[in-house]
């Protein structure tokens, strides 16, 4: 099940325990981010082994619009991750809602 920007903002503000991953490029991440660990989608496959400890944790992935993070979500699920959520609309919708 994917996650909305409103749900994600609430999770961040309430200090929920989850893994947040930004799959955009470095320049996008530096321009604006919501605190996610940067793993660009182009290097994502090689980073999956480093995330193994989070296979059963809630993992939220995001990008600019939700397309790249949708790919990352599918890669994680194919690798056995059981609770992966894509941020619907990505940072575009986040900025529309929260500036």
Question: In angstroms, rounded to a whole number, what is the distance separating the alpha carbons of residues 74 and 13?
Answer: 27
**pLDDT at res. 99:** 86
**Residue 86's domain is classified under what CATH number?**
3.40.250.10
pTM of the prediction?
0.97
- Name the residue range of residue 74's domain: 5-98
**pLDDT at res. 35:** 96
How many separate domains does the chain show?
A: 1
Task: Check residue 53 and report its DSSP letter.
Answer: G
**Residues belonging to the chain:** 99
Assess contact for 51 and 43: CB atoms under 8 A: no
**pLDDT at res. 60:** 98
Question: In angstroms, rounded to a whole number, what is the distance separating the alpha carbons of residues 24 and 34?
Answer: 12
Three-state DSSP at 52 gives helix
> pLDDT digit string (tens) for 56-99?
999 999 999 999 999 999 999 999 999 999 999 999 999 999 98
Residues marked as catalytic: 63
């Amino acid at each position: 099940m994917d996650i909305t920007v409103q749900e994600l903002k609430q999770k961040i503000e309430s200090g929920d325990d989850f893994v947040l991953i930004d799959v955009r490029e470095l320049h996008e991440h530096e321009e604006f981010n919501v605190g996610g660990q940067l793993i660009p989608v182009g290097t994502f496959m090689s980073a999956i082994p480093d995330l193994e400890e989070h296979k059963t944790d809630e993992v939220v992935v995001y990008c600019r619009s939700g397309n790249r993070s949708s790919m990352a979500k599918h890669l994680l699920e194919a690798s056995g991750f059981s609770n992966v959520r894509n941020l619907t609309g990505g940072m575009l919708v986040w900025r529309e809602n929260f500036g």
